[in-house]
Amino acid sequence: MVSYRWLVWVGIVVIGSCVVPSGEQPPLMPQSDLSTLPPCVDDDCNCGDFRDQALAQAVLEAFPEDPFVLDQDDNGIACESLPPVSSGLDPAVPLSNSPHLALGNPSNAGTGNLNNYLIERSQYALAYNRDRGTANWASWVLSADWLGDTDRQDNFRQDGGLPAGVYQVTPNDYRSTGYDRGHIVPSGDRTRSVQDNSATFLMTNILPQAPENNRGIWRELEEYSRDQVYQFDKQLYIMAGGYGEQTTLANSRVTVPSRLWKIIVVLDPGETVDDIDLGTPLIVVDMPNQDTNSPDWRTYQTTVDRLELATGYDFLSQVPLAFQDILESAPYEVP
């Protein structure tokens, strides 16, 4: 009897571990090509990750058994509370001559839409979103010219450069929320002068970031980027931002993005956007804004095409057309 019971227990454990391997996600069996789905399917999608219901529905239909639980009421429709379809890009704007926008203006940010409001500074460019209380994205060049020995200024403050009537998020809006004031353009990327470093502490360049993410994996990617400049004398074009919603802060004045992304184009000094070709390293990551991420940012590499699907933006529009489509669709594995 004893050995029989033992065999039954062994059987349960063996069968159980086949169904759901312990410590791993349930097996995912997408019926569509992953390259046509947003990056969250690589780790864990939530309804807040999708810009519209149509995209959530595409994910639901690609995975039998609804592993991400997008259809809680089991009626075949994912994430009913999302808008049916998202509005398209804002109309095209004249191309800026800012060096920080050399790759393009991915959301056609300008001055007509307060949720896609272009702020150009000598240190970076960003598209601010009034309703979210954060930038949609920021874009900046990182080269040896920008790096010096200026101390971190730590002067988080409201951005008085916003148009009149737009609420200016304050450092206090993040206090006791459990989220870090996460830089989009890192303080460490602007150390040439006090003025440059201070520009990164304006609250328009800050988003609410899970502390372990900010101080761990995200910081490591920032340091990897600066190492490309310090050690290999590279010049980088970088864009980063957040999308989706996991919660809000400060009486809904600040939306906490559910996903964080970054694009890094690695060039040699003196090269311009016109020198980008199929040999140009292109690092693209999209990760959950959570404390529980994998410790290696390489885990979250994706393609520009999939990031465009998730965000609705058009990245790399100024990259030579001969290479743009191929670079955007090809996964680049960081060595």
Helix/strand/coil for 59: helix
165 vs 295, beta carbon nearer Mn ion: 295
* Secondary structure (3-state) at 268: coil
Return the number of the residue (82 or 210) whose C-beta is nearest Mn ion: 210
Residues 175-204 within binding reach of Mn ion (CB under 5 A): 182-183
According to CB under 5 A, which one of 124, 137, 297, 315 is a site residue for Mn ion? 315
| Closest to 38 in 3D by CA, of 22, 57, 13 | 57
Toward Mn ion, which CB reaches closer, 70 or 169?
169
State in angstroms the smallest separation of the CB of 118 from Mn ion: 18
CB-nearer residue toward Mn ion: 300 or 315:
315
Report residue 35 CA to chain centroid gap.
Answer: 17
Q: How far is the CB of 31 from Mn ion (least distance, A)?
A: 26
Which positions from 233 to 272 touch Mn ion by CB under 5 A, shown as an x/- string? ----------------------------------------
Catalytic residue among 121, 132, 183, 234: 183
Note whether 314 binds Mn ion by CB under 5 A.
yes
Q: Which of the residues 265 through 284 are near Mn ion (CB under 5 A)?
A: none
By the 8 A CB rule, do 93 and 109 touch? Answer: yes
Q: Within a 10 A sphere around the Cβ of 315, how many other Cβ atoms? A: 26
The verdict on 214 binding Mn ion (CB under 5 A) reads yes
CB closer to Mn ion out of 66 and 86: 86
- By the 8 A CB rule, do 82 and 52 touch? yes
Nearest distance in Å: CB 74, Mn ion: 37
297 binds Mn ion (CB under 5 A): no
- Residue 164 C-beta: closest distance to Mn ion, Å: 30
C-alpha distance from residue 201 to each of 190, 193, 332 (Å) = 11, 13, 32
**Long-range CB contacts (within 8 A, 24+) of 104-113:** 104/314, 104/315, 104/316, 104/317, 104/318, 104/319, 105/317, 106/137, 106/139, 106/239, 106/311, 106/313, 106/314, 106/315, 106/317, 107/136, 107/137, 107/312, 107/313, 109/136, 111/163
Residue 100 a catalytic site member: no
> How many residues sit close enough to Mn ion to count as binding (CB under 5 A)?
6
- Supply the residues annotated as catalytic: 183
- The binding site for Mn ion (CB under 5 A) comprises 182-183, 214, 314-316
